[in-house]
Chain A
Amino acid sequence: MAADELLAAEAVALDRPVVRIYGWSEPTVSLGGFQRLADARAAAVIAGLPLVRRPSGGGAIIHGTDLTYAVAVPRSHAWGSDPQVLYDAFHESLAAELRERGVAANRHPGRDRAAGDELRLLCFDRRARGDLVVGLGVNGPDGAKILGSAQRRLRGAVLQHGSLLLQPPPIATVTHPGLLRLHPPAAVWDLRHLVSAWLTRVAAEAGGPLDEQAEPFRRSRSGLIADAAARFREPAWLGRR
């Protein structure tokens, strides 16, 4: 979370989008910026898992079997104004790549408020407009969700987090099937290639280069990241609501 937060400053300094792709060393639940900690603590489905809180919105994610991305976009960029545009840029790019590989991936049209999605704890149990689902109308009326994203809209930049569910997490398997379970891995599912093809499409949509920040970024900013990490570790941050 700390490294992701610094992406925003990096995007402003470079004046272009910066993306970071990562996984998790152990199963961890990340809560949305305003979700109630008490609701998470009371949920048997995630009992015992470490909890962190994201700066971005949205629902809780059980990390560990997903691929997480963070992208920061300067407010002056074409993606910096309308929240849906940035959301769709990442989701439709992946949908297009998956469709080319024979997967029926589509953006969900969104449910009306009566569905009570904001009351559901887990991101992958919700459906917002643009969420990437597989088999809409086949895997249930709402399809099987494989990618959800949420944003923190800062003054100079927008930070978007997203989670691509690859495998079902150890729990919640009924509502969290995962891409690779829906489509068993084969040569076509070389993840490294899939992600590379996805980001190439995103960069084409952006109309310019997309910086990817990985280990060198973390090393060069280790002091700043440590400071930010201390804030994210404070009980007051996790318990802010």
Chain B
Amino acid sequence: MDKDDTLTLAAGRAAAQAAAETMTGAQMVVRALKDQGVTHIFGYPGGAVLPIYDALFKVEGITHVLVRHEQGAAHAAEGYARSTGKPGVVLVTSGPGATNAVTGLTDALMDSVPLVVLTGQVPTHLIGTDAFQECDTVGITRPCTKHNWLVKNVSELARVLHEAFEIATTGRPGPVVVDIPKDVQFQSGPYHGPQAIHHRTWRPRTDPDTASIVKLVEMMAGAKRPVIYTGGGIINSGPEASKLLRELVDVTGFPITSTLMGLGAFPASRPEWLGMLGMHGTWEANHVMHDCDLMINIGARFDDRCTGKVSAFSPGSKKIHIDIDASQINKIVRVDLGIISDATKALREILRFWRLQKHQVQSEALKAWWHQIDQWRAKKSLSYRYSDQIIKPQYAIDRLYALTRDFKDVFITTEVGQHQMWAAQRFKFEQPNRWMTSGGLGTMGYGLPAAVGVQMAHPGALVIDIAGEASVQMTMQEMSTAMQYDLPIKIFILNNEYMGMVRQWQEILHGGRYSHSYSEALPDFVKMAEAFGCVGLFADKPSELDGKIKEMLAVKKPVLFDVRVDPAENCYPMIPSGAAHNEMLLSPDEGGDISDAGKMLV
């Protein structure tokens, strides 16, 4: 920060100090939310947050969405945040309210989603006495938040609330928790606006170092077999990053792949797009990663789902890693050039220096590289055997994709498992912020509440949760939330009666002993949908699928569509655990022995 900034800040502080208004802690919460531009909060009331709920009563400009379980509130806020780029806000009570939100907090931490979670706490004089609905919320949430606070004094509340938004949204985004005891909500104190608040130490670095960018463009100019490998960092950086990424591919013609979290940053319809990489990535994406001579990682973190066996990961390449979080660089894979930067800023500088220094790509080498890539593509690694007897899950997703092309804006959320991978492989995204899935934590039950959050933010859009019948039952009760707020979300269940990914691994690794992965007593999803007041649909023949999908899309209410799919279908291609990118299996016929070390991996 330079001196002028400091002066302006000091002046701002002084002005705000003078203008400080007195109000109760509960009123401060509502006021701070308004001053932060919050229009939606996802919550569930309880004893320790009643003063805040009282302050929210009939307040204008903030819509409160009453969920059916606090985990749902956190995932809905994640869906809201990831589809808008704004922080998601959650309000829950003490004790079980806070502990129920923990899965959502961890999910948001793993996937870098900005959440501000406000929890009620028992009054300060009862803290530590095992009071009713007391839990050590800051203790429990410390490892699953970017930062958290227990506010014991109302005079600190305004500062903490504004700092909470600053920390959740700047640098690498993430969830924060502000724990507010009930007596603090009742007490009166001075309120300061956000312009007066700036955290003492939090100064995330977001500008790339110029010398490194110069080196990077030189490496690009020398590359014969380059690949751009992008992740959720591009999405989190905002839509500008996706625009610049397209420009980078325009000027270089480099092939590009992405992690699960980064889908949509680059249009899937463009020829440079290789598809997703990793355990269930395409043959071409993984072979390009393995054989490249230059890897440019922008906003991805060399997750184990993407790298496969680390010691055999892309053995012949120079590696560049651009990440806003310094701790990600050299964490899993040693790189030749690490750049700590926001993706937008880094991309802008890369393009500027590429043009300024009039660099050219190695066009002959690149042509040969594309020739090789075309051969890998010819494997058509996402193909499957169609059946006219039984609905193949891949076919169901292909039809869903085809029949939603006329909609202006389509948002997809997913649960976790085989259906998630099929959706990631086959649903083609052209824009960022349209794909909401639980990547890092792999939270079954994420998709339905996330769809609620997305639809809240985008009332006119088509929002579909591509689900599995096992996952969706984990947060099924949020159907009721969808009804209450007239959210016409579509829950498209690929029902194979199994926890499909568990079954697939049991088949491959545990001799086909399907221990407790079959659901023997599934509900009648159609009747269940009707019980919630939603519309239930059912299909088990390929011939009826199109008609039923059209019916689902035409209904202006929440729909639960029970699509009965082939229970034996496995998700391919697949890098078996402990194997390298060039050791992919294309189909079950290939077998493929998994080492004992591989079996130990998850």
Do A and B pair up? The answer is: no
